[in-house]
């Protein structure tokens, strides 16, 4: 974690994840192992970021995000109150 980061409630940063300066992370977010969030990115609420992803753009709420070469939304969260509904 770097400077000037705003983190919501119930956020999990897996081992090896890096969140750089000026980022905002919403409630109920899981940032996968080895993921990198570049400076000044906003991540909405109820988001899962896949392991090894590199986020280079803002992420909307209620999504599953996975990116190796290019950011892409995999799908929207069916039940925004539980980000872990994605694993069913």
Choose, from 3, 12, 58, 79, the residue flagged as catalytic: 3
Active site residue 3: yes
Contact status, residue 31 vs residue 49, Cβ threshold 8 Å: yes
Task: Classify the phi-psi angles of 74: left when phi > 0, otherwise alpha if psi is within -120 to 50, otherwise beta.
Answer: alpha
Contact status, residue 37 vs residue 20, Cβ threshold 8 Å: yes
How far is Cα 16 from Cα 22, in angstroms, rounded to an integer? 19
At residue 74, φ and ψ (nearest 5 deg) are -80, -50
Which residues are annotated as catalytic? 3
């Amino acid at each position: 974690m770097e400077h000037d980061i705003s983190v919501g409630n119930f956020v999990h940063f897996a081992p090896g994840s890096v969140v750089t300066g000026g980022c905002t992370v919403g409630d109920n977010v899981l940032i996968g192992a080895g993921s990198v969030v570049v400076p000044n990115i906003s991540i909405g609420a109820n988001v899962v970021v896949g392991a090894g992803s590199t986020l280079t753009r803002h992420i909307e709420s209620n999504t599953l995000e996975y990116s190796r070469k290019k950011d892409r939304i995999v799908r929207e969260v069916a039940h925004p109150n539980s980000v872990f509904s994605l694993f069913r």
